[in-house]
């Protein structure tokens, strides 16, 4: 009976150690992923220029739809904005 208890205790200890080890690995991986994401955000250039030109183009389209800009004015402003 003592051998059975020792085997059961060993199995419990091994299972607990495996669970704790897996938890530690997941926490470390999450920490490293967060650090990588922060580093990527610091290195990546902000996409403001694209958003700004898109917003300006949408504004021009609204003015054209409202009749404030003629077809020629809209085409010229769009070409200037897009660098064509």
Q: What is the DSSP letter of 67?
A: T
Q: Are residues 26 and 7 in the same domain?
A: yes
Q: What is the DSSP letter of 46?
A: P
pLDDT in tens, 45-70: 665 556 788 889 899 899 999 998 89
Domain that holds residue 29: 1-44
Q: Are residues 40 and 72 in the same domain?
A: no
pLDDT in tens, 9-48: 887 777 777 877 778 888 888 888 888 888 877 776 665 5
Q: Are residues 38 and 77 in the same domain?
A: no
The encoded tokens of residue 52 equal 């700004």
> How many domains does the chain divide into?
2
């Amino acid at each position: 009976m003592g051998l059975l208890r020792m085997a059961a205790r060993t199995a419990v200890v091994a299972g607990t150690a495996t669970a704790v080890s897996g938890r530690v690995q997941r926490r470390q991986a999450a920490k490293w992923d967060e650090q990588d994401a922060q580093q990527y955000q610091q290195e990546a250039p902000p996409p403001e220029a694209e958003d700004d030109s898109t917003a300006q183009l949408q504004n021009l389209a609204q003015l054209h739809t409202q009749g404030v800009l003629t077809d020629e004015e809209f085409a010229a402003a769009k070409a200037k904005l897009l660098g064509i």
